Amino acid sequence: MTKTHRSELLMPAGSLEKLKAAILYGADAVYMGTPDLSLRVKSKMTLEDVVEGINYAHARGKKVYLTLNLFSHNKDIDKLPDYVETVRKVKPDGLIVADPGVFSFVKQAAPELELHISTQANVCSWQSVKFWADLGAELCVLAREVSFAELKEIREKCPDIKLETFIHGSMCMTYSGRCLLSNFLTERGANQGACANSCRWKYKVHMRLKDGTLKELLLTEENLELFEFFLEEECRPGEMMPIEEDERGSYILNSKDLNLMPRLDELLSIGVDSLKVEGRGKSIYYAALTARAYRMAIDDWYEDPQNFDPTPYMAELNTIPNRGYTLAFHDGRLSNYGHAYEMNWNFASYEYAGILQRVEKDAFIFEVKNKLVAGDVLEFVSPTRRDIMLLRIYEFIDAATGRTSTVVQPSEKPVIRLSFELFDHEDHEELAKDFPAMTIIRKEKALTNEQWNQIKLDFEAGKMELGKEDDKRYQNKKQALIEALGEDQKNRAPKTRRVGLEGCCGKGCNGCLMFWNDPKYEKARTLLSSKKQGVMLESNMREDLIEG
């Protein structure tokens, strides 16, 4: 593969706002669709949004793929002519389909449209890829179950069709979304994008005594064969579901999220045409920061593939709420490290603080999304600049009224004004260029001891998948989490002292009164003054400088 053949970064667009954010933060292409025929009943895209989104993307040299990947029932057929007639007018760069009947209809009704085969078609082999290519498909989205070895062989045997593979996002513990649990328990169709995530619910195992009473049971090897077993879901107390178990369990599994950043160089090296991120139903924070991390990584690999290191990009992905990360089927057999058996939380040590609504001549207008208190450190994540701009802020000025406060509640939908004068270590003339409207702002989040232990266990599990750690350390982290599960979870703490007025993290944020005035930070201030404007101290040197 040559450098002229670049893999594209394909991001989800569940709304027009998310589309714009994904493109701003580095997506080469986005995929989207209207709720009725695109397998996302919660999608907020209207046909008018689709038209605007395509025009917005094309004006910036980006591509848009539309989803029509439903498996059609008779009731859906009558909708197809109007849908396809509308779609062909807006001229998308591709139409994603799964149903052979829909494929055939579009091929005849709108032969000018480029057809992509959806992951819903479960394409797992070069023979299947060749089948679709012979029918006229331009691209195949491979199933998440395809390993890298299989993908490499498919690339070699099918050089004349574009290939797309998932690199990041939620994983379903059935075959690429073919789950019946959600339909059975809640009558919400998993294959229509309305999945209730039943595999992630908290279940209990019960035993039935001879007198007919039910008791909770701690399963051990000694008692496993002695009882009938039932599941009770936490939101349906008293509703018992009989289950059968073997040595592998009850088949109710909670998958971690797919993250192929540690193996991104392998995918780029064989020339996968499109690298796809899942998540049309996820937040604008997710869309923007996931795009940013992969954009930086892809560009850096093409610049210097021999020295590619995923570590800094993984650190960025860890600021986005997740269920723990896994390589899933990439290396072949799925290991137990790809499952989260203890809890199903979707969280991170950072949270979405807000978004820049607009940039004025001398200030940012900031739409707040989570609670802020005096002394919080805000992280401005630029769509173009690599380093993060930090601001420690002690009061909040309402953009409409000019009133000041020391606490901002998101329920009030506040919009505050951040004067450029607050950024005492930045070039004010560059601020508007580096941090345009729709720039994402994040902040550290205080977590419970239970959550911190989950993060530590997930980190160790990731190293186990990569073959970089021994099992003893992993088991110690697992035991620490188990012990923390029973603790009082009222107390929460951030990783560093960056929330409220608890203290200074020693990083030298804009406006930090403690760092820039306290005598104990004198050595750190001297070093920081020698650095390029806007560059903060690295975490591994801050404590040494403070102690020194």
Integer Cα distance of 464 and 474 in angstroms: 8
Q: Contact at 8 Å (CB) between 388 and 356? A: no
Quote the CA–CA distance of 103 and 32 in Å, as a whole number: 18
State how far the Cα of 478 lies from the Cα of 460, in Å rounded to an integer: 9
Whether the pLDDT of residue 28 is over 90: the answer is yes
pLDDT for 468 equals: 85
**Highest mean pLDDT of the ranges 84-93, 149-158, 456-465, 470-479:** 149-158
Cα 288 off chain centre by: 9
Q: How confident is the model at residue 485 (pLDDT cuts 50, 70, 90)?
A: confident
- For 413-436, how does the pLDDT look when each residue is reduced to its tens digit (9 = 90+)? 999 999 999 998 899 999 999 999
Q: What is the Cα 289 distance to its own chain's centre?
A: 8
Task: Give burial (CB, 10 Å; 0-12/13-18/19+) of 328.
Answer: buried
**Structure-block tokens of residue 138:** 């331009």
Task: Please give the distance of CA 52 from its chain centroid, rounded to a whole number.
Answer: 25
Q: Where are the beta strands (DSSP E) in 260-385?
A: 274-277, 325-326, 350-359, 363-368, 372-373, 377-381
**Largest separation between any pair of C-alpha atoms in the chain:** 79
Closest of 139, 146, 186 to residue 162, by C-alpha? 139
- Other beta carbons within 10 Å of 299: 12
User: Domain 8-171+256-317, CATH 3.20.20.380 — does that match?
Assistant: yes
Smallest Cα–Cα separation from 278: which of 190, 385, 388, 166? Answer: 166
Task: Give percent of the chain above pLDDT 90.
Answer: 57
Contact present, 314 and 247 (Cβ < 8 Å): no
350-446+495-547 to CATH, choices 3.40.50.1360, 3.40.50.300, 2.40.30.10, 3.20.20.70: 2.40.30.10
Three-state secondary-structure class, residue 203: strand
Q: For 189-240, how does the pLDDT look when each residue is reduced to its tens digit (9 = 90+)?
A: 555 556 666 666 666 666 677 677 777 666 666 666 666 667 677 777 777 7
Q: What global pTM score does this model have? A: 0.87
Q: What is the dihedral of CA 80, 82, 84, 85, to 10 degrees?
A: 160
Query: Residue 149: its pLDDT value, please?
Result: 97
Average pLDDT of span 349-359: 97
Listed by start position, the domains of the chain span: 8-171+256-317, 177-243, 350-446+495-547
Residue showing tokens 């040595």? 247
> Is the distance from CB of 330 to CB of 147 less than 8 angstroms?
yes
Tell me the Cα Rg of the chain: 25
Query: At 102, is the pLDDT very low, low, confident or very high (cuts 50, 70, 90)?
Result: very high
Angle between helices 16-24 and 47-59 (to 10 degrees): 10
Compute the distance between CA of residue 387 and CA of residue 229 in angstroms, rounded to an integer. Answer: 54
pLDDT for res 41: 44
